[in-house]
Amino acid sequence: MAVLNKIRQRSLILILVIALALFSFVIGDLFKNSDSLTGSSQDVIATINGTDINRVEFQQKVKNYQDRSGGRQTSTQSMNAIYNQEVRKIVQQSEFDELGLSVEKDEMRDLLKISFSSYPEFQDANGNFDFNRLNAFIANLKDLNGDTAPLGNFLVNYESWTSNEQTIAANAIQQTYYNLIKSGVGATISEAEEEYLGDSKTVDIKYVQIPYTTIDDSAVEVSKSEITAYMKEHEDTYKSDATTEVVYVEFKEGASKADEDKLKADLIALKSDREEYNENSKNTETIPGFDSATDIEEFVNSNSATKYNDAFLREGQLPTIAKDTLMKLNVGGYYGPYKDGEYYKLSKLIAAKQLPDSVKVRHILVPHIGGQRADASITKTPEQAKATADSIFAAIKGGTKFMDLLELSSDKVSNEKDGEIEFDYLAGMAPEFKAYAFDNKEGDIDVVQTSFGYHIIEILEQKSFNKAIKLATVSTKIEPSDQTLQDVFNKMSKFEIASKDGDFNALAKERDLVVKPITFKALDETIPGLGSQREVVRWSFDSDTEVGDFKNFTISNFGYIVAKVVEKREAGLMSTEDASITALPEIRKEKKAKLIREKISGTSVDAIAQNQGQSARTAAALTINNTTLSGAGAEPKVIGSAFGLAQGATSKPIDGQKGVYVIEVKKVTDATKLDNYTAIMNRLSSERRNSAQTKVYTALEDAAEIEDNRAKTVY
């Protein structure tokens, strides 16, 4: 009782303590999830010029996009595609709104007329577009409350109709905008003249090149501060997105040697009969093996991962790894078990005979409704087509000439060649058609059904007979056993546990595991050789994941990886180490150029060449539009300098791509002026207008205010 009294006396203190605890919990959560402090919503994919892309609507569009792609796009690819579409739409709409571009009622009527004037539903008795019919159709759609009505070959409802109207209006506004842009883009007569002179005026020069390689790299020191300064001068080149560097090791769930040995032993055991107790008959029965089975097809289909193939196969159709041995087998002989891709196989030769490699046949095709490539003109049912084909066959057997009945065939291509087709055994013909042509004899004729309909086929010629064999092959897929799967999991788990207190690389080396490095950007999704692994990327960028953290991931159809975060880099300039790959050679080049210029002496190309131990070279008919210097490669500065000098003049040292140059202009050949530059001006204007749309959008996107939250929301 005394304790309760003390609690009551201190109730105010307790309330304050609890309140402070709750407050610190809330504040802690706010700092953990900074979006709560900034007001950013997890439901916003991105904000473009103040317009949000809603997550729910975005994901629905992504789903629709994936459905249309038939699964050919990964989820990340689909998200990126829709994101780019949405950004483009909003960026353009911002510009259209600022300019006051819109589609008014009268213009919309004209656009609908252009889009739907060919539809009979909107035409009067004279075939003219009737707005009254259009308005009645739209009103009917509205009254249907979401139900669909036919329009041409489509079914539409009011929602899809209004969506289509919006698309038509948006396209019209976009076209108007870009037409306005293009109307202000063109070329002048002066620009046309410069273009002409750029290809027609030529300069011949003599030059000397002192290559940068004449100074050893070790003679030029470059500090980290110089690399940093170079990066800042070329900031656009060395900008870097936020990245994480991860290392990982793989634990592949592959079949062990013991697994493979058992699979091979099981295949060999199939050759012999085996005793099996039958629960129904309460007797022990003998189950025929491969050696004694009488129904080979049933035996193969009951014991094999692949179905029985009753066809005769040529050498070129056999597995490359086994074809030589298989072709030498005697009937009843075995080969295997042998490894063919993902399977172990045991093959038995059932039969062998000589078959042609190519045939010539002629045929008459009677198609039916539902047959492959059957168009609307085909009205026969399969039964009617069969009856027609049988009557044609009977007529031919009765003496009617095949050629006299070709008009009854729907194969117009072969009809032009008297119904004849010549093909080899690898041709992509209907399987039943091909089988009849190769498996029967010259002169044979019969009715054969394929997916196209019924054919009356006559074999005219068979050529190049070679050995073909029929095989019964029992195969089993190479897969790890349950024990192997457990062993792989245990191995992965032990490595992960050991990594908690040990050195990741050293532990991997002890276990003969290869440590593979990879650097991710926030929106990456793939790991080379492992495919789409977005979960790994997301984990590596998670704010709770720190450098040194590691985690195991299950990789579909592979096994596991254990990944460790090695480094996290914020967006900004590259590290000096990464930038040095390209920056270091450029800085060295600048320093070498200065050293070379300082030691150049002489006033002529020949003197400088002799002084520097180089050869003077010539280059003729240089044009300013071609930056390739004969004998030196691409050297735009050198070419440009040549056109800035008078004939006979010698340049100062020029820092080029591959060395320092001094040039002497030997001859300037001015172009003959044209009387009219209009054709060139028109060409330049057309080229600029054609590229304007892409360039304008790129400029709008670069100028837009875009807050991209993809990596924090759906990705």
User: Model confidence over 692-713: pLDDT tens digits?
Assistant: 988 999 999 999 999 988 877 6
Give me the pLDDT at residue 33, please: 44
- The reply to whether 627 and 566 lie within a common domain is no
CA distance from start to end of the chain: 58
**Tokens representing residue 155 in the block:** 């079914």
Give me the pLDDT at residue 96, please: 92
291: Cα within 13 Å, side-chain hemisphere: 7
- Which residues make Cβ contacts (< 8 Å) with residue 12, sequence separation at least 6? none
Alpha-carbon distance 8 to 636, whole Å?
89
Give the end of a domain, one of 555, 570, 585: 570
Alpha-carbon distance 367 to 388, whole Å?
10
Q: Are strands 617-622 and 202-211 parallel, antiparallel or unpaired?
A: antiparallel
Residue 84 belongs to some domain of the structure: no
pLDDT band, very low/low/confident/very high, at 300 (cuts 50, 70, 90): very high
Residue 280 belongs to some domain of the structure: no
Say which range, 20-24, 135-139, 341-345, has the weakest mean pLDDT: 20-24
Give me the pLDDT at residue 575, please: 85
- DSSP string covering 154-200: EEE-HHHHHHHHHHHHHHHHHHHHHHHHHHT----HHHHHHHHHHHH
Which helix (H) or strand (E) covers residue 659, if one does? strand 659-669
**Tokens representing residue 34 in the block:** 């900074």
Q: What is the pLDDT of residues 250-279, one digit of tens each?
A: 999 999 999 999 999 999 999 999 888 887
Which helix (H) or strand (E) covers residue 439, if one does? helix 431-439
Q: What is the pLDDT of residues 566-605, one digit of tens each?
A: 999 988 888 888 899 999 999 999 999 999 999 998 889 9
Mean pLDDT along residues 288-293: 93
Provide the percentage of residues in the chain whose pLDDT is more than 70. 94
- The reply to whether 471 and 617 lie within a common domain is no
- The reply to whether 359 and 301 lie within a common domain is yes
- CA neighbor of 323 nearest in space, from 424, 477, 471, 463: 471
Mean pLDDT along residues 523-551: 92
Give me the pLDDT at residue 713, please: 67
Give me the pLDDT at residue 475, please: 97
- Indicate if the pLDDT at residue 508 is higher than 90: yes
Give me the pLDDT at residue 37, please: 42
pLDDT band, very low/low/confident/very high, at 41 (cuts 50, 70, 90): low
- Indicate if the pLDDT at residue 159 is higher than 70: yes
Give me the pLDDT at residue 279, please: 79
Alpha-carbon distance 605 to 268, whole Å?
84
Mean pLDDT along residues 525-530: 91
Q: What sign does the dihedral 691-696-699-701 (CA atoms) show? A: negative
Give me the pLDDT at residue 68, please: 81
- The reply to whether 440 and 303 lie within a common domain is yes
Alpha helices in 600-677 (DSSP H): 605-612, 636-642
- CA neighbor of 249 nearest in space, from 580, 573, 574, 488: 488
- The reply to whether 435 and 496 lie within a common domain is no
Contact (CB, 8 A) for 157 and 149: yes
Mean residue pLDDT of the chain comes to 89
Mean pLDDT along residues 206-215: 96
- Indicate if the pLDDT at residue 370 is higher than 80: yes
- CA neighbor of 467 nearest in space, from 296, 333, 349: 349
pLDDT band, very low/low/confident/very high, at 715 (cuts 50, 70, 90): low
- Indicate if the pLDDT at residue 35 is higher than 60: no
Give the end of a domain, one of 570, 594, 617: 570
Give me the pLDDT at residue 2, please: 41
How many folded domains does the chain comprise? 5
- The reply to whether 460 and 496 lie within a common domain is no
Q: Is 223 helix (H, G, I), strand (E, B) or coil?
A: coil
- Indicate if the pLDDT at residue 22 is higher than 60: no
Q: What is the pLDDT of residues 608-650, one digit of tens each?
A: 999 999 999 999 999 999 999 998 999 999 999 999 999 999 9
Give the end of a domain, one of 453, 477, 501: 477
- The reply to whether 329 and 445 lie within a common domain is yes
Residue 72 belongs to some domain of the structure: no
**Tokens representing residue 233 in the block:** 């001068």
Mean pLDDT along residues 304-329: 93
Full residue range of the structural domain in which residue 135 is found: 101-177
Residue 463 belongs to some domain of the structure: yes
- Indicate if the pLDDT at residue 450 is higher than 80: yes
- Indicate if the pLDDT at residue 28 is higher than 50: no
Mean pLDDT along residues 224-243: 91
Give me the pLDDT at residue 17, please: 44
Residue 264 belongs to some domain of the structure: no
Residue 712 belongs to some domain of the structure: no
- The reply to whether 215 and 293 lie within a common domain is no
- Render the burial of 348-378: b for 16+ CB within 10 Å, e for the rest: bbbebeebbbbbbbbbbbbbbeebeebeeeb
- Select the more confidently predicted residue: 355 or 33: 355
218 DSSP β-pair partners:
none
- The reply to whether 465 and 561 lie within a common domain is no
Give me the pLDDT at residue 286, please: 86
CATH code for position 492: 3.10.50
CATH code for position 325: 3.10.50.40
Q: What is the pLDDT of residues 373-420, one digit of tens each?
A: 888 788 899 999 999 999 999 999 999 999 889 889 988 888 888 889
- Indicate if the pLDDT at residue 39 is higher than 80: no
359 DSSP β-pair partners:
423, 462
Give me the pLDDT at residue 219, please: 92
Q: What are phi and psi of 488, to 5 degrees?
A: -65, -45
Give me the pLDDT at residue 643, please: 94
- The reply to whether 581 and 629 lie within a common domain is yes
pLDDT band, very low/low/confident/very high, at 14 (cuts 50, 70, 90): very low
Q: Provide the residue type at 155 as one letter.
A: L
Alpha-carbon distance 342 to 346, whole Å?
14
- The reply to whether 557 and 616 lie within a common domain is no
Alpha-carbon distance 38 to 274, whole Å?
74
Residue 275 belongs to some domain of the structure: no
Residue 271 belongs to some domain of the structure: no
- The reply to whether 436 and 324 lie within a common domain is yes
Give me the pLDDT at residue 714, please: 57
